[in-house]
Every structure is written in C-alpha cells, then in structure tokens.
Chains A and B, each alone.
Chain A
Amino acid sequence: MPPPSASRPGLYVHVPFCAQVCPYCDFSVLRGGAAARRRYVEHLLAEVPLAAADWSDPDPFDTVYFGGGTPSILPAAELARVLETCRRHLPLVDEPWTCLEANPEDVTPESCAEWRGLGVRMLSLGVQSFDDAALRFLERAHDSARARAAVETALAAGFATVSVDLIYGLPDQDEAAWRRQLEALVALAPDHVSCYQLTIHPRTRFGVAAARGKLRELPDERQAALFELTHRFLADAGWPSYEVSNFARGPEQRSRHNRKYWDHTPYLGLGPSAHSLAVATPTSARRFWNELRTPHWERRLAAGERPLEGEERLGPRELATEALMLGLRTAEGVDLDAFTQRYGFDLEASNAPLLVELQASGQLVLRDRRLVPTLSGLAVADGLAAAFTIPS
C-alpha cells in the first residue's frame, strides 16, 4: 500500500436532486424544482471556501466526482461554476480526472458535448436495467430503448470512460433473465460496468414493503449464484472485476476516484451527506461528514457555518480494520507486509488457523504476499473481514 502522500486527494460533490426518488435508494436525495437547485448551487459555492480553509493537505486534487442524486439534472453552466469556484479555493491539477453520474434521460449529443467541455472524462450512466419490466419495478423514468440510446450516445461522444450501472438480484430474477441483461450490456460494450446487487434498506419504500412482507431479498444461495454468474460472465467477456461491484475493460478504465475510498487516500466531500477523509500520518486520520439533509446543510451554510454533522478520529486500529475490510473487497486484496508496516498489526501471525481454514475452503489465496479473495470469498467479503482478529 503506498504511503498516503503518493496518491493525490479526490474531490467529491454531492448533487442531491432527482426527478423522482427511486424506491431502493437510501442516499441523500430529494425532488426539487429549478429554484431549489439554484439555491443549492449558491450554498455549495459558499461551502467551498469554508471547506478549503480547513483543508491543509497541500497536494492538488487530481479527481473530481459529481455524484448524487442526479448531477446530470444540473445545467452544465452550473457545474462549471462549481468547478471554477473549487479551483479558486482549492489546489486542483490542471486536468483533473472528472466523473459525472448521469441518468439516461439527460444524455443527448448536446449535453455530452457540454460535459466534455467541462472536462468530464468518465460518464457514469444510471441504466440499472435493459428490461422494461425491471425498470418499471425499480420505478426508473427511462425505458430500455432510452437506456440503450444513452449508452450509444455517450460512447459516441468521446468520453475516456463510459460506465453503466446495473442492478441485479431483483425478486424473482433468475439466472437466465440476468444473463440476458449481461448480454445486452456486453453488446453495447461500455468501458466500465458497476453491477450492484439489490439491497433493501430499511428507510426506503422497498424497505417498508419488505417490513410488510410484500418484498423479499433473494435467498443467500440464489444471490450467490447471480453474483458468481455476474463475475464469471463479465470476466469472460473482457470486463474483469476489480472490486465487489465494479468491472473494467482494463486498469485504465477503472474508477480513479473511487479507489481512493478503498486505500485511505484523502478525499474532500462537498454538498449534503458528503464524507471527507483527512490523513495526518499513516496511522492517524480524521473523517468528517456533512449534514445529511439538504435543508439542514443549507441552514448551516446560511448561518456562515461549516455544515458538518459529525466527525471521527481514526487511529491505527480503525484504519487497519477499514483497510482489511476494504482490501478484501478488491481484486488486489491486502498486501500483508504493507499492512504490517503501515498499521503495525501482523495479520498473518494473529490469524494463523483462520488463514489455513480460509485457504483450504477456497475463499482466499495468498499470492505474492497478498491476501486475495477468490470469487467465492468475494461473495462473503463482509464475513471474511469479520473473521479476522486485529490484535489489541
């Protein structure tokens, strides 16, 4: 694991607006008209100098990620103002690797050209499915034809990376149905794919339906089958996974921004609910996060305050726990020696019988002094992380 200064920090901007709120989404989102969006942008611009005053890392940000919500809902001119303001107050490399999340209905040759003009290199499309029934179930605004058109338009627009988000593991979805989705995806040949297994969060409409017994997550065995199908199918088709839910045609097409979350590279988040990580030393960091709800976030900013909701200090133990938990989600796994060196915990020595057991059961391999999850290990990465002991 490289020391933190070797990787430059990333900047995240949360745009909370959606034309409609999806029944499975537990992010900070809201429906808001043009006036609400303008008000949000003004507050966001006000947040930048406040956040910058508190950001002491001299390294320039080399990624910018517009996430949401639906950032593509904002006019490009507004996005440009945000970028400009960030550049004025924060160190930014000349051409940061910029990613924008977009809904298919916002994708046109014109909008793509505008986004390219802003320096967007990666366009992440919230397609979710190529099946109309599934899209209706997920209450998406677009249909499958629109989804395909959006991917084709984006691919033609010359972005360095076009990514497609899909959701699988819908109730009653069998392997054949999901395979058809993957085939449709591969036929379009995007550069990058994120396949998220449907998770039912309690405070969502799906969560409420589940609590009433009207909706059920797939049983463990079927989830596992779909998970394996996804990884095998995409690897065979040329999109090997580099994380639990992320697949790329090659290392160059991986999300440069997201990987910072997984290896304790510093990041600064702006906008409601955004999280930040400031790294002081390899074993001491501070994570802080903004007010979750947009009105609270705006109220704090209107009062001239930093809109933080909370923060936590991360010592060697917390950082090590996270590094293990995040590392075991990636194809690279956990570098045992780098882990010991950075965090001071010898994972190998304190988990000897477990390591034997996990290798024997084919969930982990030890390759080049790295703990690398196998496919079946990746499917149970949460349990893997929990099984390890980090000595006190």
Chain B
Amino acid sequence: MDHIRNFCIIAHIDHGKSTLADRLIQRCGAVDPREFRDQILDSMDLERERGITIKANTVSMPYTARDGRTYELNLIDTPGHVDFSHEVRRSLMSCEGALLIVDASQGVEAQTVANLYLAMELGLQVVPVINKIDLPSADVDRVMEEIDRDLGLDPFASIQVSAKLGTGIDDLLEAIVTQLPPPKGVPEEPLRALLFDAQYDPYRGALLLVRLFDGKLRAGTRVRFMHSGQEHKVEEVGWQRLKHIPVPELSAGEVGYVLAGIKSLSGLAIGDTLTEAERPAAEPVPGYREAKPVVFSSIYPMATDEYEDLTKALEKLKLNDAALIYEKDSSAALGFGFRCGFLGLLHLDVLQERLEREYDLSLILSAPSVRYRIVLADGSEVWVDNPTFYPDPGSIQESYEPYIKATIMTPERYLGTVMELCRERRGVETTFNYLAAGRMEVISQLPLAEVLFDFYDRLKSITQGYGSFDYELLDYRLADLVKVDILVNGEKVDALSQLVHREFARPRALRYCERLASTIPRQQFKIAIQGAIGGQIIARTTINAFRKDVTAKCYGGDISRKRKLLEKQKEGKKRMKMVGAVEIPQAAFVAVLKTEAPADEE
C-alpha cells in the first residue's frame, strides 16, 4: 500500500487543472504520445469546449520516483464549479491528498477556498501548486502571501509550475510521492469500497469506479451495495488507466473499476459502499449524503415523439449524475415532460447541453424555480417548486423562500458595484472583509431565487471576469410572492409562468414579453404578448403580422418547387409549439429563459 497515492486536484475554473492533469499523465507515460490529446480527462465534448470539468473522471499512472521505486498514482479528477460540490466531496473522500492549484496572476478565488475547506474537513493533505508562472502577469510572491494568509497553508511547501510549458512537473510528482500519505486500510478486513463515479457503457453496462478502503475485490465476488441493498456478481475488476486494464484483484487503498453486469441504470447511488455479500462490513464508508436539488425546471421535448428518447436519455444521465432527480410532468402548452431538480443553474445548463448534444434532443426548459414553503390559511403547509401547482392566492397565508449566504470575492475596485448588485437582488446583511492587498470578500444573505436569474453572469460582467462566487443554503424566510403568467394572444403559456417577488413582477414580465416579441417570427396575424398576475395585465408587447410574402409566379414549373418548399416549412413547424394559432419556435422559449448579457459586454 506504501506505493499508492490517491489524490485529486482542486482548482478554480480556468486555473489550469485539466492542463496540469495532462502533463502529469504524459510525464508518467500513462498514455502513448500518439494517442495524446489535450485535456484527456475532460472526455466529454462539452467539457473540452467550455473548459470546465463537469464529470469527475479518474486515471491511474505508474510513476518511477527519484527513490527508484515505482508508485501507483491515482488521480481522481474533480469537477470545478460550485454546483458540483457534492461530486467534489465524493471524489475527495477517495483521496488522501489534494493538489490545490492557484493561478499565479489571479490568486486565490472563492471557489478554491470552498473546496479547500472541504478537503481539510475530510482530512486530506494539501499541496499548494502555483500554476501559470510563465504568464507575464504572474505574481508569485503575492500569491504565496495569499496562500499563507487566506488559506493558512505553508507557502514554502508550494510547487511552482507551468502546466502549459511543463515546467516544474517533475518536482510536483516528487511532492505527490513525498508529501502525500499513502492510503490506510486493511486488506484482510471485510470489503468496503466507495462508489465514487459510474459510467454507462452500452456494451458492458455500468462501469463502477471505486476506491477500496478495506478488503479485496476480485471477479466472482458477490457484492452488496450497503445503502441500496442491491447485490451483484462482479465480472471484472481492473485499473482505470486511459484504457481499462483488467487485474485479478483490487486491494485496500487501490482505486479501480468494477464491472458487475449491472444493466439497469436506476437505483445506483454514487457515494454508496460496496461490501461482500458473504462477509459484509459493519459500517459503510462515512459521509454519504443525498445531494439536495435547489433549482427546479421542467424539460419538454420539442417534438412530442421524442418523449421516449428523453426518458431513456435521462435514465442514462442519471447514472453519472447522482444529484439529478426527475419526475413526470405535463404542460398544456408543451405536452409531456419531466420536472427536474438540479444543484444549481450550471448543473441545469450542463444537463440540457448533454441531452441536446449526446442524445440529439431538442428541448424546451421552463423557467427555473426554487422550492417555496407555503403556509395555507388552514394552517397546513405545502412545498411548491412548480408554478403550475401554486395554490390559489386567496388560500395562502404566508410564503417562505430559501435564502443563501453568498460569498463573493472581488478586486477592491469593484466593491461598490458588487454591493449594489447584492442590494438589487434583495441582499441583506451585506458585509465585506479585506483579504490580501486589493482583494475583497463580500458576504451577503440573498434569496436564492434572485441568484437564479443571471446573477452570476452579472457578477462576472461588472467585475470584468474577476469576481467569483460561492454559496451555501441558509434558511427559509418570509417572501412576498406573486405568480406571473405569460399570455400569447390571450392563451396562457404555462411553461413560462413564474413565481416572482412582487416588486420584480412588472419588470420581469416586461422582459419576458419583449424577449418573446423579438424571437417569435412575424406570422399571419398580429400577436399580443402579455404578462399578467391573475386577471391583471402588467406588461404587454405585440408582434405585427407580415404583410407580403406571396410568390409572384406560379405556373407549371413552379408548382412542385413551391409545394416542396411548403412541405419543408411544415416540417420545420413540427419544431414549433402551437399556442392557440400562434407558432412559437424553440428559440423563443430558450431566449426568454436565457440570462442576458448586458449590452456593454462583448
């Protein structure tokens, strides 16, 4: 076990985690140079494109150290965004150590701090890594000061690297071997293997990634999931290099994959503990907790015949995303779909993109909502995360909404605008602290609902990209809620209904109306778009009808061509949703629900 090091990399978005992982893999020769492509761990297109790691991925690397011994380095990749802290937790639990990357010019960010605390809470040994030292703007001295003061870590234990150029990688590998502890665990004890990730392979079923804490695991063993109670016979175990390498046995301290002929995707809970059915462990690996969704949205297929495909796609994505929850939903305007719960807006965004790209689905998502607690006049209590089920206002005594504690880090020069943003979003008890020179930390208590609606984009915009943001849920507080409906030619589009704080109802409704007006193409007749609370219209826009589109000539040779054009047009309409006689393209729903960058940005 002495030769094993299980570690992860903690970093803020864009601080170079994936590039660093690439260098480590390359240096260890875990991958043939011909097969090497940048950012190997970010296997999904989406991750490569956005430069963020969404799904934790993992890789084992053999490394011959300066002491002449060969070590098995298990790099457990962690996702890098605030929405994914549950995945971070699972990944961290599988490690004894962590590399904490700090950008040499940008310094310590809120995200980094949050994940560092998580790592410390779980007892991980942390090695600070200062990356991007090659940049002209790099300020290593300042960053070392921040590591000392803001993170409380020993700045002199930090390793300076440039992942891009490969500088310092050897020193870093040595630090992994010398500074991080080997795993503990007893191979003779009953099996305890933490399921920290799973992938779906269409040919082999579920591929489980596990970290063994105690015991041994080999093909033929009958295993039990300690939380779900499911039992399966192990078919194959092995190492997760860049390819899967079967081995006869995994032992305590090791990280590897398990195939157990699991065909059904549902019912697997990431974070569960595998044990031997014959000789079960007394306790599972601690720290398992269900990820709680805080953002809710309904997802509908654009074409109703894609409902089945959507069902299957969600089942598959659920396997790799323990935090995703969903149930059947239906809308008068959009037909059958699913009400889904997410950890945050990025989580929602990522799921949508994965469904569209990996499963080729065309989707409409309803306005994201938080979950409200509503006390009715008769004293009973209901939880509402879907405007459709908002009770009759007359029957409501009080409504409560979730509040968060937001921690925002920003350069000092943006302090005023950040405070102003918090105020705009109904932030209370907003305070600030000085961190290192020129850096501020703003703490504010905000309604989660106000953060859902383009808060992060606005923050990025007003701080020119320097602001970072993390949050935790606080409690529920009294809220003055109204339900805003959007009507198209008098018909309510239920998927666009929203629960909004009363003072924001009118501007929000107007913004929705305007966005719809700019994305619904002109049609045969004038279209009235209205925002309403109950029967009261609070916002209104119109789309004028088009006036002239008729083809001038239509004789023998023109008819087929014209009919085919018409058929194509009609085919395109299947991608439209009818509300009364009005055709609404998917783009309109997307535009309404999308956050909007202010005009001064890009």
Contact = CB atoms under 8 A, between A and B. Distances in A.
B560 interface: yes
A289 B524 contact: no
Main secondary structure of the interface of A (DSSP, over half): helix
B553 A275 contact: no
Interface of A: 12, 27, 196-199, 220-221, 223-224, 227, 244-245, 258, 261-262, 267, 269, 273-277, 287, 289, 312, 318, 321-322, 325-326, 329, 353-354, 356-358, 360-361, 363, 376, 378-387
Contact of A199 (B489, B552, B562): B552
Given A224-B548, A361-B526, A321 B560 contact: no
A378 B550 CA distance: 7
Nearest to A277: B556
20 contacts: A198-B552, A199-B553, A220-B547, A223-B548, A227-B550, A262-B554, A275-B560, A289-B560, A322-B559, A322-B563, A325-B562, A326-B559, A354-B581, A360-B525, A379-B547, A379-B548, A381-B549, A386-B566, A386-B570, A387-B524
B550 A261 contact: no
B553 A376 contact: no
Given A224-B547, A376-B547, A261 B559 contact: yes
The 8 closest A-B pairs by CB, nearest first: A224-B547, A361-B525, A224-B548, A275-B556, A223-B548, A357-B581, A196-B552, A381-B550
Nearest to B580: A353
A197 B553 CA distance: 9
Contacts of B560: 275, 287, 289, 312
Nearest to B560: A287
B431 interface: no
Nearest to A198: B552
A390 B558 CA distance: 21
B580 to A, nearest CB: 6
B163 to A, nearest CB: 47
B523 interface: yes
Contacts of A378: 550
A386 B545 contact: no
A70 B573 CA distance: 40
A381 B553 CA distance: 12
B211 to A, nearest CB: 54
B556 A196 contact: no
Contacts of A312: 560
| B contact residues, range | 20 to 34
A166 B581 CA distance: 37
Contact of A380 (B549, B569, B573): B549
Instruction: Report which residue of B556, B557, B581 has the largest number of chain A beta carbons within 10 angstroms of its beta carbon.
Output: B556
B555 interface: yes
Interface in B533-584: 545-557, 559-560, 562-563, 566-567, 569-570, 573, 580-581
Contacts of B553: 196, 199, 245
A357 B566 contact: no
B552 A380 contact: no
Nearest to B583: A387
Contacts of B551: 199, 244, 382
Most A CB atoms within 10 A — which of B525, B526, B545, B580?
A: B525
Given A287-B560, A353-B581, A380 B526 contact: no
Contact of B550 (A12, A244, A287): A244
A322 B559 CA distance: 7
A224 B549 CA distance: 9
Given A196-B553, A357-B581, A382-B550, 20 more contacts: A12-B556, A196-B552, A199-B552, A220-B548, A221-B548, A224-B547, A245-B553, A261-B559, A269-B556, A275-B556, A277-B556, A321-B563, A325-B562, A329-B554, A357-B524, A357-B580, A379-B549, A380-B547, A383-B549, A386-B569
Contacts of B549: 220, 379-383
Contacts of B563: 318, 321-322, 325
Contact of A274 (B552, B557, B570): B557
Contacts of A387: 523-524, 581
Interface in B251-291: none
Contacts of A354: 581
A387 B549 CA distance: 13
Nearest to A276: B556
A325 B566 contact: yes
B376 to A, nearest CB: 37
Contacts of A357: 489, 524-525, 580-581
Contacts of B581: 353-354, 356-358, 387
Nearest to A381: B550
B525 A244 contact: no
Contacts of A199: 551-553
A358 B555 contact: no
Contacts of A267: 556
A380 B524 contact: yes
Given A321-B567, A386-B569, A275 B548 contact: no
Contacts of B559: 261, 275, 287, 322, 326
B529 to A, nearest CB: 15
Nearest to B567: A321
Nearest to A389: B570
Contacts of A322: 559, 563
A223 B547 contact: yes
Given A353-B581, A361-B526, A321 B566 contact: yes
Given A261-B556, A267-B556, A358-B525, A385 B548 contact: no
Contacts of B546: 220, 380, 383
Interface string B457-479: 00000000000000000000000
Contacts of A261: 554-556, 559
Nearest to A243: B554
B552 A197 contact: yes
Nearest to B570: A386
Nearest to A245: B552
A325 B563 CA distance: 8
A321 B525 CA distance: 21
B10 to A, nearest CB: 53
Contacts of A361: 524-526, 545
A273 B547 contact: no
Contacts of A360: 525
Name the residue among B526, B545, B548, B580 with the largest chain A CB count within 10 angstroms: B548
Contact of A329 (B489, B525, B550, B580): B550
